[in-house]
């Protein structure tokens, strides 16, 4: 019985660690670093990466944390009704980021990637009004599609953390299988189509 309890606790700890580490906002960091690395070089890489992370990571992260603290919410924002404001803030920052990249003449791939963050977050916001779709799944499946489009088959390696996070969200009972799977499939297809249409 003791071994069973220890096993349960270790699996729960592992699931919680995965959910915490593989947050959609944290995933933006390697995604934009890799995308920029394979798109530009020299000082342009650092400038472009810095700009992307400002709008895709830091601003959404800071405002989300402030919202969570202000409303005394859990990190997952389990109640979908409380997710609307953070998602709305995210769409705003991603849209501004897209506009800044476009005006500065950033590579199309990077601008489209930022735009996909805007459109996918907007899509998750609309769905969240009616249903608690898994933002974790959407936040990794979309970048997986983008990385696959940019890098080819190596981009599918992002599918590994996607599978892990899907398992953790179901195991921790944060989402149903349908919410996790539909979130992943919708985000992957939506992102792939946008790259197919917008990237020459």
Q: Answer whether residue 3 is part of any domain.
A: no
Q: To which H or E segment does residue 54 belong?
A: none
pLDDT for res 46? 94
* Regions of the chain where pLDDT drops below 70: 1-9
Based on the structure, what is the number of domains in the chain? 1
Whether the CA torsion 167, 170, 171, 172 is positive or negative: it is positive
Q: Answer whether residue 101 is part of any domain.
A: yes
Q: Answer whether residue 55 is part of any domain.
A: yes
- Residue 58 and residue 82 in contact, taking contact as beta carbons nearer than 8 Å: no
Q: Answer whether residue 17 is part of any domain.
A: no
CA distance 182 to 186: 6
Q: Answer whether residue 163 is part of any domain.
A: yes
pLDDT for res 75? 73
Query: What are the pLDDT digits (tens) for 55-108?
Result: 999 999 999 889 888 888 777 777 777 888 889 999 999 999 999 999 999 999
Q: Answer whether residue 12 is part of any domain.
A: no
Angle between helices 135-151 and 24-37 (to 10 degrees): 10
**DSSP letters along 65-84, please?**
HHHHHHTT--TT--SGGGSH
Question: Which residue has 């349908």 as its token pair?
Answer: 178
* Nearest CA among 129, 149, 133 for reference residue 191: 149
Domain of 162? Answer: 23-198
pTM here is: 0.90
Q: Answer whether residue 16 is part of any domain.
A: no
The pair of structure tokens assigned to 61 is 């992260």
pLDDT for res 7? 60
Q: Answer whether residue 141 is part of any domain.
A: yes
CA distance 119 to 171: 29
pLDDT for res 48? 95
Question: Which residue has 């944390």 as its token pair?
Answer: 65
């Amino acid at each position: 019985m003791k071994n069973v309890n220890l096993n349960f606790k270790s699996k729960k700890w592992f699931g919680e660690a995965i959910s915490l580490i593989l947050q959609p906002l944290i995933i933006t960091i390697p995604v934009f670093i890799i995308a920029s690395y394979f798109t530009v070089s020299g000082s342009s890489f650092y400038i472009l990466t810095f700009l992307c992370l400002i709008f895709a990571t830091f601003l959404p992260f800071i405002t989300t944390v402030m919202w969570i603290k202000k409303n005394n919410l859990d990190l997952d924002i389990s109640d979908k009704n409380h997710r609307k404001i953070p998602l709305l803030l995210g769409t705003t920052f991603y849209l501004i980021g897209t506009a800044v990249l476009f005006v500065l003449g950033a590579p199309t791939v990077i601008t489209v990637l930022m735009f996909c963050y805007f459109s996918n977050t907007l899509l998750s916001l609309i769905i969240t009004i009616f249903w608690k779709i898994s933002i974790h799944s959407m936040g990794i499946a979309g970048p997986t599609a983008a990385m696959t489009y940019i890098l080819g088959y190596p981009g599918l390696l992002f599918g590994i953390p996607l599978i892990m996070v899907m398992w953790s969200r179901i195991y921790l009972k944060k989402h149903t299988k349908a919410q996790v799977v539909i979130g992943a499939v919708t985000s992957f297809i939506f992102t792939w189509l946008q790259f197919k249409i917008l990237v020459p």
